[in-house]
Amino acid sequence: MTKNNISLVSGANGHLGNNLVRFLLEKGIPVRAAVRNTKNKKPFDGLDCELVQADITDKASFVKALQGVETFYAVGASFKLWAKNPKKEIYEVNINGTRNTIEAAAEAGVKKIVYVSSIAALNYTNLPTRESNGYNPDRRDMYYNSKNDGEKLAFDLALKLGIELVSVMPSAMIGSKAFLPLNVSYGILKLILNKKIPVDTKITLNWIDVKDVAEGCFLAAEKGRSGERYILANEKCMTITDTTILANTLYPELKLNIPRSVPKGILVTIAALMELTAKLSGKPPVLTRKDIAMFSGLQQDFDISKARNELGFNPKSPEHAVTEALEYLMKNPEMLREV
The C-alpha R_g of the chain, in whole angstroms, comes to 19
Supply the pLDDT for residue 198: 87
The closest alpha carbon to 289, from 271, 263, 276, belongs to: 271
Question: What is the pTM assigned to this prediction?
Answer: 0.95
CATH homologous superfamily for 6-174+208-234+301-315? NAD(P)-binding Rossmann-like Domain (3.40.50.720)
Give, as one character, the DSSP assignment of residue 320: H
Distance from the Cα of residue 91 to its chain's centroid: 15
Rounded to 5°, angle at Cα 310 from 306 and 311: 105
Q: Distance (Å, rounded) from C-alpha 146 to C-alpha 62?
A: 20
Q: Distance (Å, rounded) from C-alpha 335 to C-alpha 332?
A: 6
Supply the pLDDT for residue 5: 87
pLDDT along the chain (339 residues), means of 10: 76 96 97 94 95 97 97 93 89 97 97 97 95 95 96 98 98 94 92 93 96 98 98 97 97 94 91 91 89 92 98 98 98 87
Supply the pLDDT for residue 124: 94
Give, as one character, the DSSP assignment of residue 39: T
3-state secondary structure of 55: coil
Q: Distance (Å, rounded) from C-alpha 52 to C-alpha 36?
A: 8
3-state secondary structure of 15: helix
Q: What is the DSSP string of 63-112?
A: HHHTTTEEEEEE------S--SSHIIIIIIHHHHHHHHHHHHHHHHT--E
Supply the pLDDT for residue 4: 62
Helix axes 142-161, 93-108, angle to 10 degrees: 20
Whether the CB-CB separation of 48 and 89 falls below 8 Å is answered with no
Handedness of CA 113, 118, 123, 127 (dihedral sign): positive
Burial class (CB in 10 A: 0-12, 13-18, 19+), 252: exposed
Supply the pLDDT for residue 338: 74
3-state secondary structure of 8: strand
Amino acid identity of residue 318, one-letter, is P
Amino acid identity of residue 37, one-letter, is N
Give, as one character, the DSSP assignment of residue 226: T
Domains of the chain, by residue range, sit at 6-174+208-234+301-315
Q: For residue 295, report the phi and psi dihedrals to the nearest 5 degrees.
A: -115, -20
Q: Distance (Å, rounded) from C-alpha 149 to C-alpha 234?
A: 24
Q: Distance (Å, rounded) from C-alpha 138 to C-alpha 61?
A: 34
Burial class (CB in 10 A: 0-12, 13-18, 19+), 304: buried
**Residues 6 or more apart in contact with residue 109 via CB below 8 angstroms:** none
Bridge partners (DSSP) listed for residue 69:
6
